Amino acid sequence: MNCIFCNNENEATSVEHIIPESFGNKKYLMTRSSVCDSCNAKFSKFERKALSNSVFVFERARLGIKSKKGKNVKGKVEDLEVEGNKEFKKQLITVKGLDSKSVENYDKENGTLQMIVSSFDKSEEAGAKLILKMGIEALYTSDFNLYNNLDINEARDYLLAKNTKDWPVIISDYEPSKFKSIPKMGVKYELGIKQIKLEYLQLNENVLLIRFTFGGVTMMVNILNRDTNWITEFKTNDSLTQIYPKHYRDKI
Ligand SMILES: [Zn+2]
């Protein structure tokens, strides 16, 4: 079989999880050899970074997810060290490295405080790559007709580091029209229990959005190209929309 990313014929020995196992996905997998061992190994590098050095680590810790090795979640975002509970209790996160810059409005009476956490720690690229990879694999597996009609060579080249220019990724709650789940029925249900959604929305022939939701975090990319025109509508309708990497903000 040929690898859907590098097109090399191969007999892979590794299992490719469409959504990383470290999000709690055990069942949504690629068919054997549709992703070769070499691409799989390349992908695990950015997966690890996105899982442990971005806002996802807080969600993984908060939801009491087990790591691949069955341990509690650990990671680092900027100067904050994040750790999930050792007995996988939900809603219990240990954060080390908090200082007056990262904590605001401590309210003694209510016992609340606000913690300022950036969404990424130099891991925007890893985040964009992870969502592109999941989108391509999920469409291939669950919606082959749509997959077959898409030109995703730009994204493929980016994942294989044939071109390295940043890919824009946004965090936004705005929904121009209804996103559709890529996983179908049973798989969709299983992932839903783990608070995972992987969806798409085609806006026009240049823009097909892939949206990934994990717990309270929602990120999206345009799987077809690096065009940023579509982002304006999101920014207009949700003032809290965040655009990464930062240099794209000036152009939108
Ligand atoms: Zn490959």
47 C-alpha to center of ligand 1: Å?
Answer: 16
39 C-alpha to center of ligand 1: Å?
Answer: 4
Tens-digit pLDDT profile for residues 214-244: 998 899 999 999 999 999 999 999 999 999 9
Residues 6+ apart with CB under 8 A from 199: 179, 180, 181, 182, 210, 211, 213
Structure tokens at 117: 């956490």
161 C-alpha to center of ligand 1: Å?
Answer: 12
Residues with CB under 5 Å of ion ligand 1 are: 3, 5-6, 36, 39
30 C-alpha to center of ligand 1: Å?
Answer: 13
Tens-digit pLDDT profile for residues 24-70: 999 999 999 999 999 999 999 999 999 888 888 888 898 898 888 88
212 C-alpha to center of ligand 1: Å?
Answer: 23
10 C-alpha to center of ligand 1: Å?
Answer: 8
For residue 96, the Cα-to-chain-centroid distance in whole angstroms is: 24
Comparing C-alpha atoms, which of 239, 251, 169 is closest to residue 209?
Answer: 169
- Rounded CA-CA distance 49/129 in Å is 11
144 C-alpha to center of ligand 1: Å?
Answer: 18
Q: At 153, is the pLDDT very low, low, confident or very high (cuts 50, 70, 90)?
A: very high
Structure tokens at 120: 């990424």
Angle value at C-alpha 10, between 160 and 161, nearest 5 degrees: 5
33 touches 12 (CB < 8 A): yes
Q: Which pLDDT does position 114 carry in this prediction?
A: 79
Residue 166 has pLDDT above 90, yes or no: yes
Sheet holding 217-222, edge to edge: 180-181, 196-204, 207-214, 217-222, 169-171, 242-244
6 C-alpha to center of ligand 1: Å?
Answer: 4
Give the mean model confidence (pLDDT) for residues 115-136. 88
9 C-alpha to center of ligand 1: Å?
Answer: 8
Q: Which pLDDT does position 78 carry in this prediction?
A: 82
Sheet holding 93-96, edge to edge: 74-77, 80-84, 93-96
Query: Which of these ranges, 83-87, 96-100, 145-149, has the smallest mean pLDDT?
Result: 96-100
Q: Which pLDDT does position 176 carry in this prediction?
A: 95
Comparing C-alpha atoms, which of 95, 102, 65, 68 is closest to residue 214?
Answer: 65
